[in-house]
Amino acid sequence: MSEGKIRVIVAKPGLDGHDRGAKVVARALRDAGMEVIYTGLRQTPEMIAEAALQEDADAVGLSILSGAHMALVPRVLELLKANGQGHVKVFIGGIIPDEDTAPLLEMGVAGIYGPGTLTDTIVNDIRKAVAGEKPA
Amino acid sequence: MNLAQSILEGSRLALARTLSLVENDQPEGQAVLSALFPYTGRAHLVGVTGAPGTGKSSLVNQLARHLRRTPDGDKPRRVAIVAVDPSSPFTGGAILGDRIRMRDLAGDPGVFIRSMATRGSLGGLAAATASVVQVFDAAGYEMVLIETVGAGQAEIEIARLAHTTLVVEAPGMGDDIQAIKAGILEIADVLVINKADYPGVENTERALRSMLELAHPVRRPSLADAPHEDDPDAPIWIPPILRTVATETTGIPELAAAIQRHRQHLESTGGWQQREHERLVAELHILLRESLLQRWMAEVGSAAYQQVLDSLLSRQISPRQAVQQLLAPDTGEKAR
């Protein structure tokens, strides 16, 4: 009971309503022993950052299929920093064109996962990223 | 950064961080709790429990919205929500989904929602919840809503934390025998039939009412001076039964009023102080037991302990005899 669990927000920003992928990932993270705060569809960046703050999250997973990632992701990163949560790792899943990968990683995204990614890969990446920064 | 000071100054980041520290029972969290303790004891703690699928999260969402719109005195009260969901007993992981139903509250700086997983033992959850609630209390939240999936001992433990406990039912969730089973309904201060637009609501209400009449035989038409559920100053509180449709906000103002009446009842009958007293004594005893055991384990040699444990495991002595041997004044000496 005394060990800290990894806490991850799983959210779908924007207007597309397909949350199957987000649910599969949420379940995989749960099965890996993490506490997943599932916030549901159509979240604004403000709602996601607020949830990350209140829940003292270690990581945020965003599922985006709408193509709006270049608008939504920088906003989430900005808000997290503004709230004093620059240490929170942000991961993206969904449909992200190759040419956007480099700029997103440049902005500070910790990982990007397209269709066909093994859930084990995501789990391991989150564990590693959080271990680097998680306060004792 | 001094966390306690930052919380008292209203820092939400410090508050969120401290909630993790106390939930994980870390020494730093314990220190902050001690620093905050003098500022606690002001919040009205309201437990919300009931079977899965009765609409607790939606109800909490609407209740919080209503409370935010109707000020208590001259300033709007701040509302904290502690939403507890189960952890997997196999992996220790959890999906905490109560926020999905609470999206109406996003963007309101006077509301703070924290999801908690049940994690390990029952006692551990109750202790962690108690600490989390104390932090919110010290941070100035006038009302703390504690939502738990209800069906067992853990909920009863958490209900003992709360000043007012709501038990949420829904039509079609079981027959009248379910309603008279001991336990969960007995802890109710207010009974809520949510989803009251569903068929079968009359049957559910009748079952609950007959259960209440069994539990409170004083409430008979022949007794002219029997306490009435609308009178907060009556010496005995009879849990009112309220119908709500949380998705349409039907019945929410009445529910908020019933919670307020229960608070008045506790204050006018001394029940408030009594609950505070019981809770603090229980917390003191749990902590005492823990630290006495730790201290004693450090003092008695592990050899003596192992020897008695072996006799116990081979069934030469009973657990009670084992305790007698271990607590005999010379045991510690023998070990050295």
Could you write out the DSSP letters of every residue in B55-71? -HHHHHHHHHHHHHHS-
The pLDDT assigned to A71 comes to: 93
- Give how far Cα A18 sits from Cα of A59, B24, B155, Å: 21, 35, 35
The pLDDT assigned to B244 comes to: 96
Q: Chain B within 8 Å of A15 (Cβ-Cβ)? A: no
Higher-scoring residue by pLDDT: A118, B158:
A118
A58 in Cβ contact with A130 (< 8 Å): yes
Q: What is the mean pLDDT of residues B181-195?
A: 80
DSSP state letter for A100: H
pLDDT digits 0-9 by tens, A2-17: 357 999 999 999 888 8
SS (H, E, C) A5-25: CCEEEEEEECCCCCCHHHHHH
Considering only CB atoms, B100 lies closest to which of A39, A56, A136, namely A39
Q: pLDDT tier at B184 (50, 70, 90 boundaries)?
A: low
Q: Chain B within 8 Å of A51 (Cβ-Cβ)? A: yes
Number of neighbouring beta carbons within 10 Å of residue B112? 23
For domain A7-133, say whether CATH 3.40.50.280 is its number: yes
Of the candidate ranges A11-25, A72-86, B246-260, the one whose mean pLDDT is the lowest: A11-25
Statement: residue B270 has pLDDT above 50: yes
Residues 6 or more apart whose CB falls under 8 angstroms from that of B234 comprise: B227, B228, B265
The pLDDT assigned to B241 comes to: 92
Among B103, B129, B135, B286, the strongest candidate for a mutation testing the A interface, having the largest count of A CBs within 10 A, is B103
The per-residue pLDDT of chain B, averaged, comes to: 84
Of the candidate ranges A11-25, B1-15, B276-290, B318-332, the one whose mean pLDDT is the lowest: B318-332
User: Within a domain: residue B214?
Assistant: yes
User: Within a domain: residue B288?
Assistant: no
Higher-scoring residue by pLDDT: B250, B294:
B250
CA distance B205 to chain A (A): 33
Higher-scoring residue by pLDDT: B244, B220:
B244
Number of neighbouring beta carbons within 10 Å of residue A93? 23
DSSP state letter for B318: -
Residues of B in contact with A7 (CB under 8 A): 20
B210 in Cβ contact with B192 (< 8 Å): no
Q: Chain B within 8 Å of A4 (Cβ-Cβ)? A: yes
Work out whether the CA dihedral B62, B64, B67, B69 comes out positive or negative.
negative
A64 in Cβ contact with A11 (< 8 Å): no
Looking up tokens 């709230």, which residue turns up? A83
The pLDDT assigned to B153 comes to: 65
Q: Chain A within 8 Å of B95 (Cβ-Cβ)? A: yes
The pLDDT assigned to B177 comes to: 52
Residues of A in contact with B94 (CB under 8 A): 30, 35-36
The pLDDT assigned to B197 comes to: 93
Same domain (yes/no): B54, B187: yes
The one-letter code for the residue type at B274 is: Q
The one-letter code for the residue type at B133 is: V
A119 in Cβ contact with A28 (< 8 Å): yes
The one-letter code for the residue type at A80 is: L
Instruction: Please indicate, yes or no, whether the overall pTM of this predicted structure exceeds 0.90.
Output: no
Considering only CB atoms, A37 lies closest to which of B96, B112, B119, namely B96
Cβ-defined contact of B93 to A30 (cutoff 8 Å)? yes
Nearest residue of A to residue B117, measured between CA atoms: A35
User: Within a domain: residue B19?
Assistant: no
3-state secondary structure of B159: helix
The one-letter code for the residue type at B215 is: A
- Biggest CA-to-CA distance, chain B: 72
Q: Which two tokens stand for residue B295?
A: 């201290």
Q: Chain B within 8 Å of A53 (Cβ-Cβ)? A: yes
CA distance A72 to chain B (A): 17
Higher-scoring residue by pLDDT: A80, B220:
A80
Look at chain B and report how many structural domains it folds into: 2
Same domain (yes/no): B210, B314: no
Tell me how far apart the alpha carbons of residues A54 and A7 are, in angstroms, rounded to a whole number.
12
pLDDT digits 0-9 by tens, B32-51: 999 999 999 999 999 998 88
The pLDDT assigned to B336 comes to: 44
Q: What is the mean pLDDT of residues B256-276?
A: 92
Residues of A in contact with B97 (CB under 8 A): 38, 40
The pLDDT assigned to B318 comes to: 94
Statement: residue B316 has pLDDT above 90: yes
User: Within a domain: residue B295?
Assistant: no
The one-letter code for the residue type at B267 is: E
Considering only CB atoms, B96 lies closest to which of A31, A38, A47, namely A38
Tell me how far apart the alpha carbons of residues B333 and B336 are, in angstroms, rounded to a whole number.
5
Q: What is the mean pLDDT of residues B125-129?
A: 78
Q: Give the residue numbers spanning the domain of B261.
A: 40-271
Tell me how far apart the alpha carbons of residues B228 and B235 are, in angstroms, rounded to a whole number.
10
A63 in Cβ contact with A93 (< 8 Å): yes
Statement: residue B219 has pLDDT above 50: no
Tell me how far apart the alpha carbons of residues B15 and B111 are, in angstroms, rounded to a whole number.
13
* The dihedral formed by the CA atoms of B125, B126, B132 and B133, expressed in degrees to the nearest 10: 150
Higher-scoring residue by pLDDT: B217, B124:
B124
Q: pLDDT tier at A96 (50, 70, 90 boundaries)?
A: very high
Q: Chain B within 8 Å of A28 (Cβ-Cβ)? A: no
Same domain (yes/no): B252, B308: no
Q: Chain A within 8 Å of B294 (Cβ-Cβ)? A: no
Same domain (yes/no): B124, B205: yes
Q: Residues in chain B, how many?
A: 336
Higher-scoring residue by pLDDT: B39, B285:
B39
Same domain (yes/no): B50, B122: yes
pLDDT digits 0-9 by tens, A58-91: 999 999 998 899 999 999 999 999 999 999 999 9
CA distance B64 to chain A (A): 16
Provide the number of CB pairs (under 8 Å) joining chain A to chain B: 92
The pLDDT assigned to B218 comes to: 52
Statement: residue B110 has pLDDT above 50: yes
CA distance B99 to chain A (A): 6
Tell me how far apart the alpha carbons of residues B11 and B172 are, in angstroms, rounded to a whole number.
44
Q: Chain A within 8 Å of B115 (Cβ-Cβ)? A: yes
Statement: residue B137 has pLDDT above 90: yes
Same domain (yes/no): B264, B306: no
Percent of chain B at pLDDT > 90 equals 44
Higher-scoring residue by pLDDT: B186, B274:
B274
Helices B252-269, B271-299: axis angle to 10 degrees equals 80
Provide the ipTM.
0.89
pLDDT digits 0-9 by tens, B50-109: 888 889 999 999 999 999 988 766 778 899 999 988 888 888 899 999 999 998 898 899
Same domain (yes/no): B315, B263: no
Statement: residue B118 has pLDDT above 70: yes
Looking up tokens 């939502």, which residue turns up? B147
* The dihedral formed by the CA atoms of B254, B257, B259 and B263, expressed in degrees to the nearest 10: -160
Number of neighbouring beta carbons within 10 Å of residue B33? 20
Same domain (yes/no): B180, B50: yes
Could you write out the DSSP letters of every residue in B124-147? HHHHHHHHHHHHHHHTT-SEEEEE
Residues of A numbered 90-119 whose beta carbons fall under 8 angstroms of chain B's beta carbons: which are they? none
Considering only CB atoms, A1 lies closest to which of B93, B114, B124, namely B124
Same domain (yes/no): B86, B160: yes
CA distance B111 to chain A (A): 10
User: Within a domain: residue B28?
Assistant: no
User: Within a domain: residue B177?
Assistant: yes
**CATH code of the domain covering residue B225:** 3.40.50.300
Higher-scoring residue by pLDDT: B156, B17:
B17
Q: What is the mean pLDDT of residues B284-290?
A: 84
Cβ-defined contact of A54 to B16 (cutoff 8 Å)? yes
User: Within a domain: residue B20?
Assistant: no
User: Within a domain: residue B245?
Assistant: yes
Number of neighbouring beta carbons within 10 Å of residue B220? 10
The per-residue pLDDT of chain A, averaged, comes to: 91
Q: What is the mean pLDDT of residues B304-314?
A: 90
